[in-house]
Structure 1
Amino acid sequence: MQPVVPYPFRHELDQRSGSEWRISGSLMELSVGTPCSFSSCRKRIPKMHASRNKTKLLGVMMMVNFLIYILVEVSRSYSKWDSTKPRIPSEQFWKKPEISKAFWNRNQQHLDYIFNPLIISSTATTTSVSHTKRTQNSTRPNSTTKAEHCEPDFNITAQIKDYTSLPQRFKDFLLYMKCRSYPLLIDAPGVCSEKPFLLLAVKSLTPHFERRQAIRESWGRAGILANRSVATVFLLGKTTGSDFFPNVSGMLRYEASMNGDLLQWDYRDSFFNLTLKEVLFLEWMAERCPSARFIFKGDDDVFVNTRNIVNFLDGLPKSKTRDLFVGDVISNAGPHRDKNLKYYIPESFFVGGYPPYAGGGGFLYSSDVGIRLRNISQHVSLFPIDDVYTGMCLQKLGLVPEKHQGFRTFNIEEKYRESACIYQTLMLVHPRSPQEMIKIWSWISDPELSC
C-alpha cells in the first residue's frame, strides 16, 4: 500500500457567505469572512429571531400550565379532608392483648389497663376527680387501709388451677397477696432528724439481736463517717409461734427503747413477705425520711464497707445521682420451676423472664429513685421474690440497675477472705457472721493498714 501524500489544496465553500476552507499540507483551517451583502441574507435573519421567540413563549406557557395543574390538585386534596371528622386508618394498627392464663401476669395486665395514663386522663375529663380517685382506690392492689385488718382472700383458690398442689408458703402468699398496708407497731421518729446523707435500711428478723448489735458496732454505726451523716434502721415484721419462733416481744421493745432504730409492722415475717417489707419501707421513707439523700438496703448477714460507699457517692457527678441504682445485677434470669427450691415459682402463677435486678443482699440508690419506686409500686402486683419485684418496678420506671464490681452478694474466693486489703476495696460481701463483721471492720479501720 502506498502512502497518501497531502498536497496543497484550496477550495471556496461558499462565496456568498465569505467562508472558506483552507487545507495546507496536514493543516485545515476555517476562515470566516464578512457576512454576505445579498438581500436574501438580510431577509433570513428576522425570520430566525421570530422562530426563537415562539419557542421561548411555548416553554413559558408549558411551565405555567404545569404549575396550575399542581395548584389544582393540591386544592382538590385539601377540599376532600375535613378536620372535624376523625381519620380512620384502613388497616388495624392496635391489637388488644390476649389475657394471660398465669395469675400474676393476668393481674398485672388489669393494673396496666387501669393505670394507663391515656385512660386516666380521658376519664378525668368526663368524671369528677373524687369519683376517679374512688374508682382507682377500689382497684388498687393494696385495697386495705392502715386502719383495716387484712383478711385472707379465699376467692383466689379458684383462680389458680393447681392451687391445692402448691407448697404451703405459696398458698399463704396468695391468700394475702392484695394486702399491702399494715399498722406500724414500733417507729423510729428520731432517725432522720439530722437529714442523713446515707440511710442504711437493714432487713432483719426479731430474734436476730446478735446480728443487729454487730452491725451497730461496725459498718452500721450511726453518726458522722467520712464527714457525712449516716443513719441506720432495721426493718422487722412479726414472728409468731406458728412459725416456731420464740416470743421475744419484751426484749424487742427494750431494744427499741435503747437504740431507737427499729421499724416493726404488724404482718407475718416470712421469706415471701420480704416484698411486703420492701413496699412498707418505701412508704415509711417517703413519709418519714424524705430528706435522706441516698439509701442502702440490705440483709443483716452482709458486711458493708460504709466508708467506700460514702466516698463513691461523694465522687459522683450530680447528673448521675438522680437515677442512681447500683448493686450486683443479675440479667437474663427466669423463674425456677422446681418445687423443692426456695425460689420456686409455679407456671400457673407467672410466665416470662425476669427483668434485670440487683441481688437482695444489698443495693444502693438515690432518694429520688426511692420516691419513684414507692409511687410505681402501687401499679405493680406483689411478687414473692423481693429483689425481682424491685427490678419489675425499675422496669416500669424505664430504669436499669447498674452493676458494680464492689458488690459481692455471692461471696469472694476463699483464699481472699482473710485479707484486710480485699475488704478495703469492696463495698459489700455476703454472707458474714456477726463476729466476722466486727473483725473485718476493725481491720479496715486500722490507721496503720497499708494496702
Structure 2
Amino acid sequence: MEKQGGNGCKRQVVVESPVRPLRSLVRPCFIFLLFLSTVIVIILLGFPDRFSQTDWWKNLSLYTYYHRWTNPDRHRGPSPTTIPPTTVPAPPSATIRPLPTNHYHFGYPRNYHFIVDEPDKCNTQTPFLVLIVPVAPGNLAARDAIRRTWGNETLVQGKKVQTLFMLGLPGGLGAQELQEKVNQESRVHHDLLQSNFKDTYHNLTIKTMVILEWLVSRCPEASYAMKIDSDVFLNVQNLVSMLVNPDTPKQNYMTGLVWWHSPVLRNPNNKFFLPYEVMAESEYPPYPLGFGYIMSMDLPKKIMGVTPQIKPIYIEDAYLGMCLKRLGISPTNPPRKSLFDVNPIYSYGRCKLSTVVAVTTTKVSQLLRYWQDYTRPGPPC
C-alpha cells in the first residue's frame, strides 16, 4: 500500500504481512483441537471394551442399556438370580425384611413371597395375552401413564389382554410410607404384584424370575406373555395381530429385538464385566433385548426348570438367553426387525407408530404424546 506525504514529494510503501491474519486463527484452532482431544479421551476411557476389540460394534447390545441406567425402572447391571417360589402370599400390610444379596448369585432355592398379589386375575376369564411391567415402587407416574394408554387395551381383536405391574420392596428413607401408598394403589386398581425382594438396580433378574413364577402359578392357561418395561410405547393391536398369525409358534417361542453374537466383556471397570469363572464363553447365546420380549406360555415353566443348573449373571435378558440355550431353544426374530426399536434417535410420528409393536420413550410425557397421536381419528399415514 502506498502513502503520499503532505507535500506530495515523498512516498512510503507499507506492505501488510500475510502472516498477521493467520496468527489470529492459531488460538481458536488450538482451543478447538484441545477440546476435541479431550472428548476423544473421555470416550475411550468411558468405553474401553468397545474400542479394544475389532468387532466393537457388537457391544451395542449392552450399550443400549445406557438409557436404562438413567431410568429408575430399568435396573440393569450385576444381578444375582434365583428361582423364588412365590406361592405363599403374605398380608399386604406386612413388613418383610429383604433377603440378603451376593455379588454373583444366590443359593437355590430362596423363599420369596408375594406381599401384594392378584391371584385370581386369570380365573374369571383366561387372557390370551398377559403384559407384565417391572416398575419401581415409587414410579406411580409411569404406572398411571400406562393405565391411561396401552394398558387400558383389554379386548383386542376379540382377545382378552391383561396388564399387571411387578414391584419389589422400596428401600431407604420413607420406605414404610411408600409401601402404604403402594398398598392403597393396589386396593384402587387391583393390578399390582409385589414380592419381598429389594427393588434395586442389581435385582432385575430376580424381578424377572418372580414374573415367570407368577405366570406359572397364577396364569398358566394364557397363550402368551410379554415382559415390557415401563417406558415403552406398545402397539397392542399390532402385537395381537402378530401373535394370532397362523405362522406364529404356540410353543418354544420367544421373540423381540433379538441380539446375536453379543460379546462377554472382560474389563472389570465395565458395568457388564463378567469374569471367566462365571462365564467362560466369549459370546452370549442369542437373546431378545429386555425392554420388551414375548414368550409362549409353555416357556416360563421350562425356563424355571433349568435355572438351578445355570449360574446366574448380571444381565437379565442375556441370562434368559442362556436358559433358552440349555433348553435347546433359540429365540425367534420378529417378522420385521423394525417392529421393535430401542432408543430411537428421532421421535416417532403417527405413521411410524402405526407400524411398530414396541418402541422405547424418554419420559412419561413422550409416551402420553405418542399415544394421543397414535389414537387420533383418521388414517395414520
Question: Could you tell me the TM-score, scaled by structure 1's length?
Answer: 0.59
Would you say how many aligned residue pairs link Structure 1 and Structure 2? 289
Determine the C-alpha separation between the residues in 1 that align with 2:83 and 2:344: 40
Q: 2:278 aligns with which of 344, 349, 359?
A: 349
Structure 1's 245 and 345: CA in aligned 2 closer, same or farther, altered over 3 A? Answer: farther
**Equivalent AA in structure 2 for residue 408 of structure 1:** F
- Once residues 288 and 449 of structure 1 are traced to their aligned partners in structure 2, the CA distance between those partners, rounded to angstroms, is 39
CA distance, structure 1, for counterparts of residue 345 and residue 290 of structure 2: 20
2:109 pairs with 1:197: no
Structure 1 residues 268 and 447: alpha-carbon distance in aligned structure 2, compared to 1, 3 A threshold? same
Separation in structure 1 between the aligned mates of residue 184 and residue 98 of structure 2, nearest angstrom: 28
Alpha-carbon distance in 2 for matches of 1:241, 1:347: 34
Deviation at 1:143, TM superposition (A): 9.4
Picking from 439, 444, 450, the partner of 2:369 is 439
Q: Does the aligned pair in 1 maintain the 2:128–2:160 contact within 8 Å?
A: yes
- Please give the alpha-carbon distance, in whole angstroms, between the structure 1 residues aligned to 2:321 and 2:344: 24
Moved over 4 A (4+): 141-152, 244-247
Q: Is the 8 A contact 2:254 2:295 kept in 1?
A: yes
Q: How does 1:97-108 map to 2 (within 5 A)?
A: none
**Do the aligned partners of 2:86 and 2:114 also contact (CA within 8 Å) in 1?**
no
Match for residue 364 of structure 1?
294
- Tell whether 2:192 aligns with 1:262: yes
Partner SS state of residue 443, structure 1 = helix
Partner of 1:411: 343
Deviation of 1:289 (Å): 0.5
- Distance across 1 between alignment mates of 2:177 and 2:294: 33
2:257 counterpart of 1:328: yes
Root-mean-square deviation over aligned CA pairs: 2.7
Answer 1 or 2: which has greater helix percent.
1
Aligned equivalents of 1:207 and 1:150: distance in 2?
Answer: 17
Contact 1:201/1:234, CA 8 A, preserved across alignment: yes
Per the TM alignment, residue 142 of structure 1 is displaced from its structure 2 partner at its CA by: 5.7
Mean Cα deviation higher: 339-348 or 184-193? 339-348
User: CA–CA distance in 1 between the matches of 2:86 and 2:188?
Assistant: 31
When structure 1 is superposed on structure 2, of 201-210 and 373-382 the one drifting more is 373-382
Specify which of 315, 318, 322 is matched with residue 388 of structure 1: 318
1:241 is paired with a residue of what secondary structure?
coil
CA distance 1:433–1:150, change in 2 (3 Å): closer
Within the alignment, does 1:374 sit opposite 2:301 as a pair? no
Corresponding residue number in structure 1 for 2:159: 228
Output one character per residue of 1:100-138: Cα deviation in whole Å (capped at 9) or x when no partner.
xxxxxxxxxxxxxxxxxxxxxxxxxxxxxxxxxxxxxxx
The answer to whether the 8 Å contact 1:197/1:293 transfers is yes
- Partner of 2:255, secondary structure, is strand
TM-superposition CA deviations, 1:81-103 (whole Å, max 9, x none): xxxxxxxxxxxxxxxxxxxxxxx
**CA 1:311–1:247: 2 relative to 1, 3 Å:** same
How big is each residue's C-alpha offset from its partner over 1:387-436, in whole Å with a ceiling of 9 and x where there is no partner?
0110011111111112221443433341xx24111111011112342222
Tell me the alpha carbon deviations over residues 266-315 of structure 1, each in whole angstroms, 9 at most, x when there is no partner.
11122331111121221111111112111111211111111100111122
2:353 is the alignment partner of 1:423:
yes
Number of the residue aligned with 2:103: 173
Change (3 A) 1:201 1:286: same
- In the alignment, does 2:210 pair up with 1:280? yes
1:150 deviation in Å? Answer: 8.3
What's 2:239 paired with? 309
CA apart distance, 1:228: 1.4
Name the CA distance, whole Å, in 1 between partners of 2:220 and 2:366.
Answer: 33
Once the 2 structures are TM-superposed, how far is the Cα of residue 379 of structure 1 from its aligned partner?
3.0
The residue aligned with 2:329 is: 399
What is the TM-score of this pair, normalised by structure 2? Answer: 0.69
Structure 2 unaligned runs (5+)?
1-81, 89-95
Distance 1:435 1:142, change over 3 A: closer
Secondary structure in 1 matching 2:271: coil
Task: Read off the aligned partner of 1:423 and give its amino acid letter.
Answer: L
Structure scoring higher RCO (CA < 8 A, sep ≥ 6) equals 2
Name which one, 1 or 2, has greater alpha-carbon Rg. Answer: 1
CA contact (8 A) 2:313 2:319 kept: yes
Deviation of 1:350 after TM superposition, in Å, equals 2.8
In structure 2, what is the Cα distance between the partners aligned to 1:422 and 1:249?
39
For the 8 Å contact 1:189–1:288, the answer to whether it is kept is yes
